Every structure is written in structure tokens, then in C-alpha cells.
A and B are shown apart, each in its own frame.
Chain A
Amino acid sequence: MGLTKVQASGLDLSADWNFTGTVTGTPAGGSMTLIKTLTASSSSSLSFVNGSNDVVLDSTYKSYKFVFKNIHPANDSVSFDFNGSADSGSNYNVIKTTTLFRTSHDEADTFTQFGYNSNEDLAQSTSYQHIVYGLGNDNDQCVSGEMFLFNPASTTYVKHFMSNASNYFASNGENQMFVAGYFNTTSAINAIDFKMSSGNIDDGQISLYGIN
């Protein structure tokens, strides 16, 4: 049973007190709020749908940030992808035009790369967009990074997004990939889905933050 009354001769406000629970209300100056963390466990996808499962993805925040932590695939050499929905997750098929470039360096120090990947971008496509590709499934291989989504509730503008992610690619090396673009719609985006190009997301977390 939780403590509901203080019954003491005095409560010294100059002392340090430990409080548990959740701080609610208007943030005291802070501007980034953790909305939801999803943890993968042989998951076919991880979806953030506004109004579902405590997820907020609407005009409450002007921008949103997804943080990927140790996303580990079941299959080898796969891409970690995302798409948006304008109908609360019934369909993930919003038209997108995107860019993707990367830097690469293998552990054997046999090659480095920096450049645009014209086969991995989208031009007015409803397909899923890669955040990274070539991801390995060795026990220690994974992808971590972040993605911003700006003003998804706008019914005036297209919806911009930008990601930056580091992945341990299948043939052993570092791939940093930069993806950006826009959902080419003036409908509100109210859900985002993440999945592998094949197989499950076996492990990892995706956290959604709201920023005002």
C-alpha cells in the first residue's frame, strides 16, 4: 500500500528526498519527452500508432525523434526499413522521395567508401525506405541510430524526416547511413512502422520521443 499521508513532526525541505513514480504535467523547462519504448522479441515489426498503446504521434509535439538501440535481425544481410501511415496503421504506404548516402569501412581495412547509393533511395514510391542495409545477424551485430520526423500532423506541408544510423554490416565492418526525404502528402502521418526486409527483429529497442 502506498504512502498517502505524511504524519511527522516535521518535513525538512532542505533535505534530499527520493521520490518514485512518474513526473507528469508540463515539463519544467525540459523539452524532450519519452513517449514510448518498444522492445523487440522475434517481432515481425515494431509499430508506433497514434492513440494506441499509449503512443502519441499527432500535433501534441512539433517534432518526433525515434532512437534505435541495438536492433538485431534474425536474418543475415538484411535492411532495416520504415514506412508511414496516414490511416492509423491500416496501411503503411505513403508516397516518399528520399536520399541515402553512406560511409563504410571494413574491419580488414581493405576498403572505405563514401557516396550516394542510387539503388537504395526512393522516387515517389510507397515502398518501405531503408534506414540501413547489409545488416548482419552475428550475435554481436546490430544497428543503432536515430530518426527525426517533423510536424507529422501538418495538413499543409509534406512531412520531412532525417535519419543517421550506424550498423555493423554482414561482412564485418561499419556502415554509417544518412537517409532523408519527405512523405509527399498533406494528410497527417499518424503511424510509423519499422521492420526488417526479411525475417524478424530479434532484439533491440526503439524509443519515441516528442519534442516541443
Chain B
Amino acid sequence: MALTIIKPRAVDLSETFNFTGTVTGDNVGGGSLVKISEQTASASSSISFTGIDSTYRTYYFKFINIHGSSTAQFRFNASTDSGSNYNVAKTTTYFVARHDENGSNGQIGYDTGNDLAQGTGEQLLSDNYGADNDASLSGTLWLFNPSSTTYVKHFYSDCQYYQSAVPRTNRTFMAGYGNTTSAINAIRFQMSSGNIDDGTITMYGIA
């Protein structure tokens, strides 16, 4: 039976106490952004997050220094069967702002080759970037209400990467929806070729 009443003669508040359970209330521990899972790549062919459910209305992925083993695209797909198959139909948009270190090619534009129209394949979060030691990608991906069985599942990303072969900075914006009324319960990230050699992907929930 859980203790519900303290009946001491005195409680010394200068002592250190251990409390178990969950702290609730406003702005406890940074508010409503809750870290669920974090994975660090180490020559990983892919990184997958399963167990996505209705606990949170919104899921937020953060990419830190995603570094590929070879020049490749960083991309993702979704699953409605807990990761057995990553093949949800998606319609997406993709545009990029870029600028070379020599001052040329400062531009923004839509990349028709990097979007999907009801495609079940991987959706790009970046175009090809190099595997030079100091090259990587960082950014975010939002996934909204993946457990809905009424609506399609919206997502959008904002990623920044160093295309070392040019060399060039790129900021990519991707958005779209998983065109299914089945719940999405897993997300997988991988490079278009080779491994993810280094980097961290963290999944947060936002109630």
C-alpha cells in the first residue's frame, strides 16, 4: 500500500530525499518536450524507432551530426506494421537553399527529383553529401498525430548539411503526408548507400 501521509515529528528539509514516480505540473523539466529514445550510429545500416503510439500527439526527431560512410542521401520511411515493412505511400514537397564556399550558387529552389507522388520509397531529407571527416547533417523532423485512424499523417523537416565535395552549405525543407488512415507506428532512417557511421537521432514526444 502506497504511503499517502507523512506523520513524523519533524521532516528536515535540509536533508536529501529520494522521490520516485513522475513529476507533473507546468514546465517541469523543460516543459512538454519529452525525450523518448536516443540512438547513436556506429556503422549502422539504418536507425529505426518503433513503438510510436498515441501517447503523444506530436513526435519530434532531432538529428545531430549524421555522418555517412560514403557520399549519399539521408532519408526516411514509415511503417504501419511495427517495422516489418517501411513502405507507406507518401506525397511530398522538397526545396533547398544552397550557397557555395566560393560565393557562387546562392539560390533557393524546388527539387522535383527529390519529392514523391504517392511513392512508397524512401523520402529524402537531404541530397548527396560527402563523407569528409568534418561533414555531417543536423536538423529536425516533425510527425503529427501518427496514431490517427481518421487522417493522413503530416510531417515536415528542416535540415542543414555540409556538402563537402563542392564545398557548399544546404538547407532543405521537406514536407508531406503519409497517405494512410492506418496508424504509423515506426520510422526508419538510413543513407541511400553505405552506413550511417556516426551521429545521433533522438525521438521526443510532445503531448
Are chains A and B native binding partners rather than an unrelated pairing? yes
Complex: how many Å from CA A7 to CA B8? Answer: 8
A97 touches B34 (CB 8 A): no
Which A residues between 43 and 75 are near B, CB-CB below 8 angstroms?
Answer: 62-63
Contacts of B158 on A, CB cut-off 8 Å?
162
A101 touches B29 (CB 8 A): no
How large, as a class, is the contact surface on chain B? 35 or more
B99 touches A123 (CB 8 A): yes
Kindly supply a per-residue 1/0 record for chain B positions 189-207, scoring 1 wherever the CB is within 8 Å of any chain A CB and 0 otherwise: 0000000001010101000
Contacts of B117 on A, CB cut-off 8 Å?
none
Given contact pairs A116-B106, A121-B99, A151-B138, A30 touches B31 in the complex (Cβ within 8 A) = yes
B12 touches A5 (CB 8 A): yes
Report A115 CB to chain B, min CB distance, Å.
7
Contacts of A23 on B, CB cut-off 8 Å?
23, 28-29
Contacts of A182 on B, CB cut-off 8 Å?
160, 162, 169
Contacts of A32 on B, CB cut-off 8 Å?
30-31, 33
Complex: how many Å from CA A121 to CA B3? Answer: 61
Contacts of B198 on A, CB cut-off 8 Å?
156
Contacts of A31 on B, CB cut-off 8 Å?
29-30, 33-35, 202, 204
Contacts of B30 on A, CB cut-off 8 Å?
27, 30-34, 209
Complex: how many Å from CA A23 to CA B26? Answer: 12
A162 touches B139 (CB 8 A): yes
Is B108 on the interface with A (CB-CB < 8 A)? yes
Contacts of A151 on B, CB cut-off 8 Å?
64-65, 138
Report A54 CB to chain B, min CB distance, Å.
17
Contacts of B204 on A, CB cut-off 8 Å?
31
Is B116 on the interface with A (CB-CB < 8 A)? no
Is A139 on the interface with B (CB-CB < 8 A)? no
Report B157 CB to chain A, min CB distance, Å.
11
Report B79 CB to chain A, min CB distance, Å.
25
Query: A8-16, A78-86, A165-173, A199-207: which one contacts chain B?
Result: A8-16
Contacts of A211 on B, CB cut-off 8 Å?
33, 62
Contacts of B1 on A, CB cut-off 8 Å?
none
A186 touches B134 (CB 8 A): yes
Complex: how many Å from CA A184 to CA B137? Answer: 13
Is A28 on the interface with B (CB-CB < 8 A)? yes
A123 touches B102 (CB 8 A): yes
Report A98 CB to chain B, min CB distance, Å.
6
Given contact pairs A99-B99, A151-B64, A156-B134, A118 touches B31 in the complex (Cβ within 8 A) = no
Contacts of A161 on B, CB cut-off 8 Å?
160
Is B67 on the interface with A (CB-CB < 8 A)? yes
A4 touches B14 (CB 8 A): yes
A123 touches B101 (CB 8 A): yes
Given contact pairs A10-B7, A162-B160, A99 touches B98 in the complex (Cβ within 8 A) = yes
Most buried by B among A6, A31, A101, A123: A31
B160 touches A14 (CB 8 A): no
Contacts of A4 on B, CB cut-off 8 Å?
12-14
A residues in contact (CB < 8 Å) with B: 3-7, 9-14, 23, 27-34, 62-63, 97-101, 115-116, 118, 121, 123-124, 148, 150-151, 154, 156-158, 160-162, 178, 180-182, 184, 186, 209, 211-212
